[in-house]
Structure 1
Amino acid sequence: MSDSLRNKVVVVTGASSGIGRSIALESAGRGATVVLIARNEQRLNDIAAEAKELSGVNAFVFPTDMGKSDEIEDTFKKIITSVKHIDFLVNCAGFGKFETFMDSSMQDATNMFQVNVLGLMYFTRLIGRVMMEEKTGQIVNFGSIAGKVPTTKSAAYSASKAAVIQFSNVLRLELMPFGVKVMTVNPGPVYTNFFNIADKTGNYVKNVEEFMLDPDDVAWQVVHYFGSNKRELNLPISLAVAAKLYNLFPAIGDKLSLMFASRK
């Protein structure tokens, strides 16, 4: 581990498991002070203890439901009184459910947008203003390959991630004059607890196993690009290529998606 992030503050939502946890620990391993946000306080405390062992500095824990604006605002107020500056915001919090849209619950869709999109936007607005004043910082928003390539049984989730991608694209332009960078990370399927909710049958995980990413590998790549001008990180390479080809040949892409990618 290096000291490349010593004296830097990294705020991570969705930090209690999966990619969020891995990014928090990867950052701590490089010396960063990490601010951990998720609903599960016990898991956050456990990860904070791991982070402190890696970095040698205290980690901050703020249990928060990212679908509730009042909790987000309260957490923001606590953060700015706990740390002197904010260098990186990594928005990992989110969830999905894989069902055909006509059979799905609109409440589930509402909840997905509340966490995946609106909560992310609200928190980004609060942290982004601080970065604008400091004339530095980077915001990393997690979209998904699902926001670029359509597959069946993911209409609401894919729509939420497409919203994150386009929100990030516009935000990047608006914050550029203030020295604040914005990067979007669009992973394919990752070995995380995400599928405990999204894919209760386990069929999807089995069918896309060859594309599954390790959260630690994703975290290493994300943290590697901290401070860079990279605008988008699409993983794995095979699905990144598929996303580009879909934009070029959408009709063919639809057929291939039905044949090979819609395996939920």
Structure 2
Amino acid sequence: MKKLAALKNLNEKVVVITGGSSGIGRACAFQAAQRGAVVVVAARNMEKLETVRRECQLLSKHAAYAYTLDIGDPDSIETFCQAVTTQVGPIDVLINAAGFGNFENTVDTDPKLIEKMIRVNLLGTIYITRLVARSMMGRPGHIFLLGSMAGKIATAKSAIYSASKFAVVGYANGLRLELRPFNIQVTTINPGPVDTNFFNIADKSGNYLEKVGQITLDPDKLAQRMINAVGFTVREINVPLIMNVAAHFYDLFPRVGDYLASTLFDKK
């Protein structure tokens, strides 16, 4: 993995970020730009993307790019990857930050919403990662997959979201082994609640973040930690610490874990 060290200096390296118009993706874009990266942000809202792109260009002193992308559409993903490779250059770092959640009991959730969540959170991540990983072979690369603490500890009213993130974690674990011989590092990011607009969609009550205020993460600090991991063989980033400890406890003592998940960590 010595060649991976070449990515520790992000100056003029191409960093592609899905979900780059807001939240963790937006924060990662700014952190990468501060390190001199050529930032490519992608999402569905071009107006928001343009704002991020302009700021990245000012921070990095290099060109920055914005593309519309529907991560739930395989054709959109293929078109996007071809455009970036042709117009910007080979991708050095991919950060999969696109995704959404919905706090609702499974029996009450519309099947169309279930399908969309799996398509966006899981299948979209797999499809774009597959294409980018193929393009990285033969040179150092780093891929970040956004999992979640919900992918380690499932709670009520997030069964579908947890399923999508459990699958992302499993996918990352297998992908890491597949890509290791090609000098491509795979890092899974498993955060607890992050103070972003994610909860504007997921939390219909509007008070979840207030209830979990003591363990809520700052997206800028999380993004800084992610960008600092580029070029290093970091397997996972699991935050906050208390939830990481709880996840290990959950694996060792599942019945007690179920009790804690339905009491201590059930704030929806």
TM-score clears 0.5: yes
Q: 2:222 aligns with which of 218, 221, 240?
A: 218
Shift of 1:172: 0.3
Secondary structure in 2 matching 1:181 = strand
Partner of 2:57: 52
State yes or no: 1:141 paired with 2:149. Answer: no
Q: Structure 2 CA distance, aligned partners of 1:83 and 1:62? A: 11
Q: Give 1:40's aligned amino acid.
A: N
Structure 2 runs not aligned, ≥5 long: 1-7
Partner of 1:255: 259
Partner of 1:244: 248
Q: Structure 2 CA distance, aligned partners of 1:204 and 1:192? A: 12
Partner of 2:39: 34
Matches within 5 A, 1:126-137: 126-132=131-137, 134-137=138-141
Q: Structure 1 CA distance, aligned partners of 2:21 and 2:243? A: 27
Q: 1:183 aligns with which of 181, 187, 190?
A: 187
Partner of 1:202: 206
State yes or no: 1:157 paired with 2:169. Answer: no
Q: 1:233 aligns with which of 232, 237, 260?
A: 237
Secondary structure in 1 matching 2:143 = strand
Q: Structure 2 CA distance, aligned partners of 1:221 and 1:244? A: 22
Q: Deviations over 1:9-51 (max 9, x none)?
A: 1000000000000001100001000011100001111100000
Q: Give 1:208's aligned amino acid.
A: V
State yes or no: 1:84 paired with 2:101. Answer: no
Shift of 1:203: 2.8
State yes or no: 1:96 paired with 2:126. Answer: no
Secondary structure in 2 matching 1:261 = coil
Q: 1:14 aligns with which of 5, 19, 34?
A: 19
Partner of 2:173: 169
Shift of 1:204: 1.8
The sequence identity of aligned pairs, in percent, is: 48
Shift of 1:150: 1.3
Instruction: Flag as ranges the 4+ runs of structure 1 deviating above 3 A.
Output: none
Length-normalised TM-score, structure 2: 0.96
For these two proteins, the number of residue pairs brought into alignment is: 261
Q: Structure 2 CA distance, aligned partners of 1:85 and 1:135? A: 10
Shift of 1:100: 0.8
Q: Give 1:45's aligned amino acid.
A: E
Contact 2:12 2:62 in 1 (8 A): no
Q: Give 2:28's aligned amino acid.
A: I
State yes or no: 1:69 paired with 2:74. Answer: yes
Shift of 1:7: 1.7
Q: Give 1:168's aligned amino acid.
A: A
Structure 1 runs not aligned, ≥5 long: none
Please give the root-mean-square deviation of Cα atoms over the aligned residues, in Å.
1.0
Q: Give 1:15's aligned amino acid.
A: G
Partner of 1:106: 111
Length-normalised TM-score, structure 1: 0.97
Which deviates the most, 253-262 or 9-18? 253-262
Secondary structure in 2 matching 1:53 = helix
Q: Structure 2 CA distance, aligned partners of 1:238 and 1:205? A: 17
